[in-house]
Structure 1
Amino acid sequence: MKAFLLAVLVITLCTEHAFSLTCFTCKDATSNFQCLSTTTCADYEKYCLTTYSSTGLGNNHSQRITKKCSAVCPSINLNIGVAGVATSCCETSLCNISGASSVKTSYTMIAAGALATSITYICTYGL
């Protein structure tokens, strides 16, 4: 009996628990506030990917943000005159809350995003 319990304990401790990654998702949003939807990623998707693109100058300036789950982490930082594209990746759940790859997210912003996501979920699905 002791050998059986020891075997169960060893198997339990050595088994890797797989938790699905959750990322913020949006497509061609004009602001980060439009990117508060979340998606549970597939098992093979290990990254939360954010792509930020901008075009134009002055009053004709336009920006787009796309966030999604990704199996790969492309490193793109391209700036051609009046157009630019940059990507950033991270590997923990809800880590892609910020639209700017070079700006670190504050804990206040993370809490605000989590609160907004919770309110959206409650309003959509109820308690």
Structure 2
Amino acid sequence: MKALLLAVLAAVLCVERAHTLVCFSCKDASTNWACLTPVKCGEDDNHCVTTYVGVGLGSKSGQSISKGCSPICPSAGINIGIAAASVYCCDSFLCNISGSSSVKASYTILALGVLVSFIYVLRAR
């Protein structure tokens, strides 16, 4: 009887538990601070996904961040200087904490914007 109980105990301890992925979740938030609500993903969801869209032209700028769980990893991105969009995915516990980890600034466009601003200020005098 003791041998049977030990065998059952060993089998229970050796069985790997199925883990449930936990990701941050939000829909069309304007800041990353609004995207820090953890949710438990479904059995078929293997990835945490962050979608970022940002636009900036002069004083008109904005961004939209969405996060959640997904069964697929639709990683993609585009950056044209004044607008950027990216889809980033990862597959570990609360790994989608960053709001725009795969979006990089276009330094050429930023430098051009600073130059145009200086020219405008100098001509306005």
**TM-score of the aligned structures, taking structure 1 as reference length:** 0.69
For structure 1, which runs of at least 5 residues remain unmatched after alignment? Answer: 104-127
Instruction: Kindly indicate whether residue 89 of structure 2 is the aligned counterpart of residue 89 of structure 1.
Output: yes
Matches within 5 A, 1:68-79: 68-79=68-79
What's the CA shift for 1:69?
Answer: 0.8
CA RMSD across the alignment: 2.1
Pair member with larger Rg: 2
Residue pair 1:87, 1:101 contacting (<8 A) in 2 also? no
What's the CA shift for 1:46?
Answer: 1.5
What's the CA shift for 1:18?
Answer: 1.6
Deviation string 1:1-40 (CA, Å, 9 cap, x unpaired) is: 3542343134224422022222111111110111122211
Counterpart for residue 45 of structure 1: 45
Residue pair 2:86, 2:102 contacting (<8 A) in 1 also? no
Q: How many residues align?
A: 103
Counterpart for residue 30 of structure 1: 30
Matches within 5 A, 1:1-127: 1-80=1-80, 82-102=82-102
Whole-angstrom CA distance in 2 between matches of 1:4 and 1:42 = 35
The secondary structure found in structure 2 opposite 1:34 is helix
What's the CA shift for 1:102?
Answer: 4.6
Deviation string 1:58-101 (CA, Å, 9 cap, x unpaired) is: 21122111000111111101124533211222222222121121
**TM-score of the aligned structures, taking structure 2 as reference length:** 0.70
The secondary structure found in structure 1 opposite 2:7 is helix
Whole-angstrom CA distance in 2 between matches of 1:78 and 1:90 = 18
Residue identity (%): 51
The secondary structure found in structure 2 opposite 1:86 is strand
Which runs of at least 4 in structure 1 moved beyond 3 Å after TM superposition? Answer: none
Whole-angstrom CA distance in 2 between matches of 1:81 and 1:101 = 16
